[in-house]
């Protein structure tokens, strides 16, 4: 099977799994928001955001690094993977020790500080998952990642249902999250063990090669920390935990919807890297164009749909107490375009080994966004945080696009992109004219939006029948 079809089949499998996973993720958020209320959900948001902030300092981009190094085939995979696991375990364990100690110096409620100590275990688990995710991206077998994620999400929903019915405390809710992420990682480890040895290895030579590949991405990710999570951290210091809960609920919806971007580009990265290293210029350009088209085809309608239905979606997801979260969700939806754009060209920069050349983008973005956060969050709270997040994502996405073009000289055809915008406007217009349905009927509006958008893609020939035939023709991936 061609690489395009292999990616398409792999992506379709992931999308099916991701749709179910998104549903379970939104269900989990809905259970927590309704049970915990705005203030205690703010505790949850503060806990997870603090650890995400700390985690990104040792992230080192090991998902794309794993996929890239396996794709290059310089170090045998049976030697490389155990060393990646060993490297990730050591760096993740350091985080698990340091983060709770740092949290003691923050003006958080005691419950939040205890939750940070407890939940740090789950972030060690998530760190280990990076390596397995990169491995299965390289193998084009992301179905295992989808299955593991589903196991974790289902375990979380079941535990939340049980705890809510038995009046469990906030800390028991956080314990459920730790158990769910551990089940996710354990199943992924077992799946990987069927293909290759999954022990921990500590070869200095291999670790040096890993570090050489990862440190530029790691520096960039550290700058990412400031503009990705700095908004919620600063909001938790300047505003009430209830306001943090409102903003966090909207941000969780964005987080879930944008996971698809990293998933798709993670599948494509090893192939882009292989074609670039082997100087297959024509195939590289074609793959880059397809990547851009696919990401815009998914990202742009998400922006349009959220802009029109933000209030209804937040009430459906989180309950009436979080109705105001529709306001920041509408603003944050604009950031999705920049995030999807950044996903395409950020991964492409890794594929062409120009990650060091993108560090200035993340550095300048971090500085500008931090200044904006410090100015606007104390004055405007949620609105200041949301609009600066939009700025940061658009800034990074546009400059990553310009940087990749500078080094590859590959020009993109924007015909499909313009058609996608047109189709999205038609979809948004139809949704805005429909009756003001609420509750579970919002799902009907979302379905109508997808049908209208999909129909317009076919009518405008943004998706050709030949492309659909190629994607859905069942053949074995070699």
Q: Could you tell me which of 303, 310, 298, 299 has the C-alpha nearest to residue 250?
A: 310
**pLDDT at residue 305 is higher than 60:** yes
pLDDT tens-digit map of 115-141: 999 998 888 888 788 788 777 877 767
- Least confident interval from 104-108, 221-225, 291-295, 373-377: 221-225
Give the ranges where 57-169 is alpha helix by DSSP (H).
62-72, 77-103, 110-138, 143-165
Q: Is residue 328 part of a domain?
A: yes
What per-residue confidence (pLDDT) applies to 469? 52
Q: Is residue 371 part of a domain?
A: yes
What per-residue confidence (pLDDT) applies to 438? 65
Calculate mean pLDDT across residues 253-282: 75
256 vs 30: CA distance, rounded Å: 13
SS3 200: coil
Residue 220 structure tokens:
């960039």
Q: Could you tell me which of 91, 419, 74 has the C-alpha nearest to residue 274?
A: 74
What per-residue confidence (pLDDT) applies to 12? 63
Q: Is residue 477 part of a domain?
A: no
pLDDT tens-digit map of 138-186: 776 777 888 888 999 999 999 999 999 999 999 999 999 999 999 988 8
Confidence of residue 212 (pLDDT cuts 50, 70, 90): confident
What per-residue confidence (pLDDT) applies to 451? 93
**pLDDT at residue 322 is higher than 50:** yes
**pLDDT at residue 413 is higher than 60:** yes
Residue 433 structure tokens:
């004219």
**Mean pLDDT (the chain, rounded):** 83
Confidence of residue 270 (pLDDT cuts 50, 70, 90): low
What per-residue confidence (pLDDT) applies to 60? 67
Confidence of residue 22 (pLDDT cuts 50, 70, 90): confident
Q: Is residue 478 part of a domain?
A: no
What per-residue confidence (pLDDT) applies to 7? 54
Q: Is residue 32 part of a domain?
A: yes
**pLDDT at residue 113 is higher than 50:** yes
**pLDDT at residue 308 is higher than 70:** yes
Q: How long, in residues, is the chain?
A: 478
**pLDDT at residue 10 is higher than 70:** no
- The total domain count for the chain is 1
**pLDDT at residue 244 is higher than 80:** yes
Task: Give me the half-sphere count of Cα atoms (radius 13 Å) on the Cβ side of residue 253.
Answer: 32
What per-residue confidence (pLDDT) applies to 473? 45
pLDDT tens-digit map of 432-477: 888 766 666 788 888 999 999 999 998 998 876 565 554 444 444 3
Please, which residues have CB within 8 angstroms of residue 169's CB and are 6 or more apart in sequence? Answer: none
Structural domain that includes position 336: 3-472
81 vs 209: CA distance, rounded Å: 12
Q: Model pTM?
A: 0.75
Please, which residues have CB within 8 angstroms of residue 383's CB and are 6 or more apart in sequence? Answer: 327, 328, 331, 376
């Amino acid at each position: 099977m061609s690489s395009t079809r292999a990616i398409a089949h792999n992506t379709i499998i992931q999308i099916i799994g991701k749709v179910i996973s998104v549903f379970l993720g939104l269900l989990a958020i809905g259970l927590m928001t309704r049970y915990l209320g705005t203030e205690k959900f703010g505790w949850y948001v503060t806990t997870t955001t603090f650890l995400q902030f700390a985690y990104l300092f040792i992230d080192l981009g090991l998902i794309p690094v794993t996929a890239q190094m396996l794709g290059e085939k310089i170090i045998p995979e049976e030697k490389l993977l155990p060393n990646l696991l060993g490297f990730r375990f050591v760096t993740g364990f350091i985080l698990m020790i340091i983060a709770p100690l740092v949290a003691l110096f923050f003006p958080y409620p005691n419950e939040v500080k205890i939750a940070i100590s407890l939940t740090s275990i789950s972030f060690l688990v998530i760190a280990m998952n990076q390596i397995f995710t990169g491995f299965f991206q390289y193998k084009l077998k992301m179905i295992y990642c989808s299955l593991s994620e589903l196991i974790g999400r289902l375990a979380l929903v079941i535990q939340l249902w049980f705890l809510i019915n038995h009046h469990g405390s906030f800390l028991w809710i956080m314990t459920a999250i730790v158990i769910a992420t551990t089940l996710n990682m354990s199943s992924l480890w077992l799946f990987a063990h069927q293909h290759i040895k999954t022990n921990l290895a500590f070869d200095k030579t291999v670790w040096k090669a890993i570090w050489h590949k990862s440190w530029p991405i790691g520096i960039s990710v550290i700058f990412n920390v400031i503009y990705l999570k700095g908004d919620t951290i600063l909001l938790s210091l300047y505003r009430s935990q209830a306001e943090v809960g409102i903003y966090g609920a909207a941000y969780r919806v964005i987080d879930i919807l944008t996971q698809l971007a990293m998933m798709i580009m993670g599948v494509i990265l090893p192939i882009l890297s292989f074609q670039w290293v082997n100087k297959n210029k024509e195939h590289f350009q074609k793959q880059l164009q397809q990547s851009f088209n696919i990401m815009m085809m998914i990202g742009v309608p998400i922006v349009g749909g959220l802009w029109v239905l933000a209030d209804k979606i937040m009430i459906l997801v989180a309950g009436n107490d979080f109705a105001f979260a529709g306001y920041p969700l509408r603003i944050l939806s604009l950031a999705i375009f920049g995030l999807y754009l950044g996903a395409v060209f950020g991964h492409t920069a890794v594929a062409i080994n120009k990650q060091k050349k993108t560090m200035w983008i993340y550095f300048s973005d971090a500085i500008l966004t931090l200044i904006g956060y410090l100015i606007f969050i104390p004055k405007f709270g949620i609105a200041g945080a949301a609009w600066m997040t939009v700025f940061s994502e658009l800034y990074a996405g546009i400059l990553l696009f310009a940087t990749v073009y500078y080094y590859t000289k590959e020009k993109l055809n924007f015909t499909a992109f313009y058609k996608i915008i047109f189709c999205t406007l038609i979809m948004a217009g139809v949704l805005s004219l429909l009756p003001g349905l609420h509750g579970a009927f919002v799902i009907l509006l979302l379905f109508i939006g997808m049908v209208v958008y999909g129909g317009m893609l076919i009518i405008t020939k943004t998706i050709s029948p030949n492309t659909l035939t190629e994607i859905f023709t069942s053949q074995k991936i070699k």
